Amino acid sequence: MWKKTIGAGFFALVCGALLVGCSGGKTFRVKGTIEGAKNGTLYLQYEQDGRYVSVDSLEMGRDGRFDLTGDASEPRMYYLAFGKMAPVLSFFAEGAPVTVRAHIDSLDRAQITGGEGQALYNEFMDYMREFAARKETAYLNILRASAQDGPKDSLEAYTAAYEQLDRRQLQYVANFVATHPDSPLSPLLAYTFLNKGYSPLLDTLQAKFTPEVSASLYGKEFSHFVTQAKNTLVGMSVPEFELRSDSVSFHREDFAGKTLFLVAWTAGDPVNIDYMSALKEVYEQWHPKGLEVLSSCIGGSDQEYGYDIYSLSLPWNEVRDARGVKNELVDKFALTGTLPSGVLVGADGTILARGVSPEALEKALEYLWQQQK
């Protein structure tokens, strides 16, 4: 990363070393105003292997104005971030100039204009925010009903309402992608939101993409996702994997002959925390009977991760691998998108279930236990 005050010679050297198309390649400009932003460094970034790579930066003034330049050789999602904080704004860049009008206290209502891809992204995210708000309300209703004594009719109704919203959201994503097969944004949306494992729908969407979209950055990633999803269907053998931290690594062979539950999750999210807490209860009941759990946190800040690990006090092996979709579990088992998500592997190495909740996991374990008697 660099500041705009760095000399031209060193600027070119850094660009070459980082393989960022800073000179001689196709570029785009993003400029605008973030009102209310305090003095500090604003970074223009893209995501690569779960890490944010900064391609330009500047010191913000009191007027909140900025003007940055990025690489437009490949259509991709870009982000704006302050200092070492998580990105605060995202937009889709294809080469057209991008304009941002935002206020620091209401970034979710930022007005961002750019090329055709950004216009589609704005339309898509308007619907996603609506779904998110309605699902949050449904989830809070579930929590309230769970805390009440007596009949659980309302709990079942709220749960059904949440599941219906989830299905409607997936249908919307599929229809949106199918309607825009010539947009390089479409495969990104497909593998980000359609993450419930393999279904013929994925092949249908992939076949609709134009050759240019299929050959794009996200077109290739979607193709890889579909392949991985096909290779990890229920009934297939678990693939080789390696989860590694600074001091230890775990492989498929480490759990040979054991019933294993693999789970990818993210820190700093209440839904994920509730899931992991419920999973902990299942583990404490079934670990004496042979259940092993291996989890990997793929997202959230280091501070959020540290707090969640302390509060959860997980009794199984946990590996922090915050590379997003490049996380080993996410990549090998096609677990992109909504988290948490898990895979149940039998003692013989066969994939028994995908995307199961702790409650469903407990029922599956009870069935397996009865079969072993």
Which residues touch 312 (CB under 8 Å, ≥6 apart)?
A: 273, 276, 277, 280
CA distance 288 to 305: 28
Which residues touch 216 (CB under 8 Å, ≥6 apart)?
A: 74, 75, 184, 187
Which two structure tokens, joined as six digits, stand for 117?
A: 């891809």
Which parts of 174-283 are beta strand (E)?
242-244, 249-251, 259-266
CA distance 91 to 128: 15
CA distance 227 to 247: 31
Q: What number of residues does the chain have?
A: 373
Which parts of the chain are beta strand (E)?
27-35, 40-48, 51-60, 65-71, 76-82, 89-93, 98-103, 111-113, 242-244, 249-251, 259-266, 291-299, 317-320, 341-345, 351-354
8 Å CB contact between 195 and 174: no
Task: Quote the pLDDT of residue 17.
Answer: 34
Please identify every stretch of the chain with a pLDDT value under 70, giving residue numbers as ranges: 1-24, 50, 149-151, 336-337, 373
Measured from the Cβ of residue 242, the count of other Cβ atoms closer than 10 Å reads: 12
Burial of 309 (0-12, 13-18, 19+ CB in 10 A): middle
CA distance 265 to 276: 8
| Run of H or E including 10 | helix 8-17
Task: Quote the pLDDT of residue 192.
Answer: 85
Q: Does domain 8-113 have CATH number 2.60.40?
A: yes
Task: Quote the pLDDT of residue 226.
Answer: 93
Which two structure tokens, joined as six digits, stand for 323?
A: 């590379």
CA distance 287 to 280: 10
DSSP line for 61-87: -TT-EEEEEEE-SS-EEEEEEETTSPP
CATH of 242-372, one of 3.40.50.620, 3.10.450.100, 3.40.30.10, 3.60.9.10: 3.40.30.10
CA torsion angle 194 170 129 265 (round to 10): -40
User: Interior CA angle at 327 toward 173 and 235, to 5°?
Assistant: 75
The domain spans of the chain are 8-113, 117-230, 242-372
As beta bridge partners, residue 111 has 101
Which pTM does this prediction carry?
0.77
